Amino acid sequence: MLQNIKTFEKNVDYVFKNKDLLKEALTHRSYLNENPKWEVPHNERLEFLGDAVLELIVTEELYNRYPDYKEGPLTGIRAALVNYVMMATVAKSIDLEKYVLMSRGEAKDTGRARDVILANAIEAVIGAIYLDDGYAPAKKFVVTFVLEHLEEVFKKGLIKDAKSNLQEKAQSEFKITPIYKVLEESGPDHQKVFRVGVYIGEKHLATGSGQAKQDAEVDAAKQALTKWEE
């Protein structure tokens, strides 16, 4: 494992002071089911932290790079950069899937569930870098490996999604940003289904579902837009 860590550190141009943080970032929950004596916990807490760090860094970068853009377009660009599909792409670009520890069953999956695991792991790595040495190296990582996809976002027209459209409508009519809340998680780890509600203030607009939180949020936004237009 230590040799693998050294190779991974070369891939991302960052050497961890606390190797256990990186081990934790690379440990999927399913791995502990088969290896209960593994010395570090699974990566979900680091994913939680890394998600927030990632969003802050991307938000700051977009704010500074596009001073003439309003909130709606900036939100759309950010959503296109940090959704699980893009984050899985980033993970694959640094060969992250070679290093993530997961169960034998999860390792065989090559579909959406695998992409979600990779996306979560990349967020956990960002969280680990932030805890290991602070904001600056975490920002360097995000700028190098995530923001490099910015041109792709524009070229492929990935900006306009349901969440962005709903954001613009809500801002235009109510001056309020929609918020998304996870209402329920069900199913085993490799086939988890999320139910997410979208709200304007205290008002519940719609509910969506999906195998990733981002999918469920997009579905909820689509449902809300459909109701809005009725």
pLDDT category at 206 given cuts 50, 70, 90 is very high
CATH of 2-155, one of 1.10.10.10, 3.40.190.10, 3.40.50.300, 1.10.1520.10: 1.10.1520.10
Q: Where are the domains of the chain?
A: 2-155, 162-229
- Give yes or no for residue 2 having a pLDDT over 60: no
For the stretch 155-205, pLDDT in tens is 877 776 788 788 888 888 888 899 999 999 988 776 789 999 999 999 999
Which CATH architecture does the domain made up of 162-229 adopt?
A: 2-Layer Sandwich (3.30)
Residues noted as catalytic: 51, 123
- Residue 180 has what pLDDT? 96
For the stretch 105-140, pLDDT in tens is 776 666 777 888 999 999 999 999 999 999 999 999
- Residue 93 has what pLDDT? 94
Residue count of the chain: 230
| Cα dihedral value 164, 64, 120, 220, nearest 10 | -10
Higher pLDDT, 214 or 11: 11
pLDDT above 70 as % of the chain: 95
The strand pairing partners of 198, in sequence order, are 180, 206
The per-residue pLDDT of the chain, averaged, comes to 89
**φ and ψ at residue 68, rounded to 5 degrees:** -95, -5
